[in-house]
Amino acid sequence: MRCSKPQGMMIRGNLLLLLGFAEDDPKMASVRWRRFKRQLGKDGFSVDWLAVKLPYCDDSSSASAKAFCEFRVLRHARRLAGQLAEGRNATAKTIVLASIPTLDPLYVGAMLKRLCGSSIQLILEVRDVYARPELFEYNGLRRRLEVFKETMLIRPVDKVIYLTDEIRRRYCTYYPHLAAVCNGVVITNGYDPEEYGPCPSAESNGTLLEIGYFGSFYASRNPELLFQTLSRLRSNSPRQAAGTRIHIWGEARHYPLEEKIRVYNLRDIVVYHGLCPHESLMKQYTGTAVNLIITHTAGSSYALPGKLFEYVGAQRPVWAITDDRILRDFITRHRLGYLSSHDPGSIEETLRAILRDHASAGRLPNITAPPDYEIGSLTRELETFLFDG
């Protein structure tokens, strides 16, 4: 367990984070809570972090093996909750925050709540639609099992935090009889202005338009349509293509990224940098003219990408290739940049617009980071919700 206790000041409250990932995990969910933990520590709160991963079977296991495994998971969760209950200060009220999209932390949190009763307050953070996913589909039996488990485990929850209004709306329809679910608050991802370092000029490379993509490719999220557009641009407008660079940082997973770059003859246009520590990536956000988001073609309509807020903090225009309404509305409302749908014609039209704006000094959108999404502001919301009342 990773522990952070404020030095030289009275402890204002105790927070135990039960999360499905380690503190040094590069994923945005871990980055989010590292930021909150750092800010809460400055404000006098004691924060412990425990990564919870229960021993589930592989999906290819037989039905009987999976049934046996569920009992093993239950025993493991009870044992871990018992260890946490024995190790805590019984005289101090503790806030326990468990985070979906894996039920593991909530499993342990619900068991701990059962053991400790009102001496702890159980908070659930819902970052994803876990039991009723859109990105992939459980088989009928697995879906019923996951819905049943979530329904059982969510009952003892005292308060709920959601990442978007749409996730909140959906959970209120799933559990309209649970006051904690319906009274939950939305606390989005955000940005920390101290993480970016010096901010170079976006026009420093003259005629070269540099676009950055930061993130992994999986399921239906990939750059295939963008690569097709770049290939056509290379054939039809070679001078514009020569003045364009797409930088990609992240994990390709099952998408054959380097092979596709070769097939589309884009080796002098697309630069793949591979994986990079998050702290180093933050410095790259401000070195581009435009930063790119590509969403899934289906299955992410309830979410706002965590990278969106980091792009906002970098004060660079955003180009989003998406059909997700809440993301399109967010970018339009805050005037953050450019939008394309998952359509080759739309992507080409937007890319040409960006190239025209970049060629005219001062035409790229001037982005001002909304202060509501700065980590200090979000932490104050979090503190009020967790520790007041």
pTM to 2 decimal places? 0.89
CB contact at 8 A, 9 and 29:
no
What number of other Cβ atoms are within 10 A of residue 242's Cβ?
A: 14
**What pLDDT sits at residue 321?**
98
In degrees rounded to 5, what are phi and psi of residue 63? -60, -40
Report helix, strand or coil for 340: strand
**What pLDDT sits at residue 31?**
94
**What pLDDT sits at residue 298?**
80
Distinct helix (H) and strand (E) counts, the chain: 14, 13
* Domains in the chain: ranges and CATH: 2-190+374-387 (3.40.50.2000), 194-371 (3.40.50.2000)
**What pLDDT sits at residue 348?**
97
Give the residue ranges of DSSP H helices in the chain.
28-42, 63-87, 104-116, 140-153, 165-174, 179-182, 224-236, 238-242, 257-263, 278-285, 306-314, 325-333, 344-359, 375-387
CB contact at 8 A, 45 and 10:
no
What number of other Cβ atoms are within 10 A of residue 279's Cβ?
A: 11
Alpha carbons 124 and 110: distance in angstroms, whole number: 10
Q: Tokens at residue 361, please?
A: 């000094």
**What pLDDT sits at residue 204?**
46
Q: Which of 207, 200, 202, 242 is nearest to 359 (CA)?
A: 207
**What pLDDT sits at residue 314?**
95
Alpha carbons 301 and 303: distance in angstroms, whole number: 6
Count Cβ neighbours within 10 Å for each residue of 89-119 and write b for 16 or more, e otherwise.
Answer: eeeeebbbbbbbebbbbbbbbbbbbeebeee
Only one residue has tokens 């920390």, namely 192
Per-residue pLDDT of the chain (389 residues; tens, 9 = 90+): 655 665 655 677 889 999 999 999 988 999 999 999 999 999 889 999 999 999 876 766 777 777 788 889 999 999 999 999 998 876 667 899 999 778 899 999 999 999 999 899 999 999 987 777 665 566 667 778 888 999 999 999 999 999 999 999 999 999 999 999 999 999 999 999 999 976 655 544 568 999 999 999 988 999 999 999 999 999 999 999 999 999 999 999 899 999 999 999 999 999 999 998 888 899 899 999 999 999 998 877 888 999 999 999 999 999 999 999 999 999 999 999 999 999 999 999 999 999 999 998 778 999 999 999 999 999 999 999 998 75
CB contact at 8 A, 28 and 189:
yes
State how beta strands 318-321 and 337-340 pair: parallel
**End-to-end alpha carbon distance in the chain:** 28
